[in-house]
Amino acid sequence: MTVIVSLLKDPVTRRLPPPYQAVEVTLKRLRTPEWETARDRALSIVRDDAKLIGLLVDYDLLPGGSARRWKQMRDREPVEYAAFITGVSVWLTAVECCLAGIEKWSGVTLEGGVPAPLDQSTLRALLLDDAISAALMDVLTQAARLVVTEGKPLGVSPNGSSAPAPTASTPTTAVAAIN
């Protein structure tokens, strides 16, 4: 197995996969500190009840539609609350990662056909959809990869030895993996 380190740091432009192929994004290459900063920004909201409740109200995400139900879940139903907060954390982290990693986009519009701004409010609304959230996070993650593995690390050798089997696929190169 070969590991190739790609030092290409220029932004990359990608179209999202169907059914979102009309959306094109230009992405920065996020490094670990940027991912961690994005995650920390998201978690700072989750840890602050006042900010969290305001956000949940703004996006109509309060469990049972009320702050009372949210507090009841938080205080008396730890498993349900943990699952709920995990989902909120994933959503907010995706928003923050997209804010940090997307330089520009096209193909995203507001009602009425006006191009949507690339901002926190737009991303929060857009990324409530799991499918588009996954598509954006996938291309964002691909653009961030700087280390690419070439070949297959495991497999049965033709002679039965413990040596890795040769790969039938063409070697992956850093350029092919990110372009």
Identify the pLDDT of residue 124. 96
Instruction: Tell me the C-alpha distance between 93 and 7, whole Å.
Output: 26
pLDDT above 90 (res 118) = yes
Question: CA-CA distances (angstroms) from residue 66 to 58, 69, 80, 124?
Answer: 12, 5, 16, 20
Say what the pLDDT of residue 12 is: 84
1-50: per-residue pLDDT in tens? Answer: 666 566 666 788 889 999 999 999 999 888 888 889 999 999 999 999 89
- This prediction has a pTM of 0.73
- The pLDDT of residue 29 is 80
Q: Which residue has the higher pLDDT, 160 or 24?
A: 24
- Report which of 42, 16, 41 is spatially closest to residue 27, judged by C-alpha positions: 16
Residue-level pLDDT at 156: 44
How does the average pLDDT of the chain come out, rounded?
81
Could you give the percent of the chain with pLDDT greater than 90?
56
**What's at 81, amino acid-wise?**
Y
Confidence of residue 146 (pLDDT cuts 50, 70, 90): low
Residues 21, 133, 45: CA angle, nearest 5 degrees: 150
pLDDT above 70 covers a percentage of the chain that reads: 75
Helix (H) or strand (E) holding 105: strand 102-106
Q: Could you state, in order of their start, the residue ranges of all structural domains in the chain?
A: 2-178
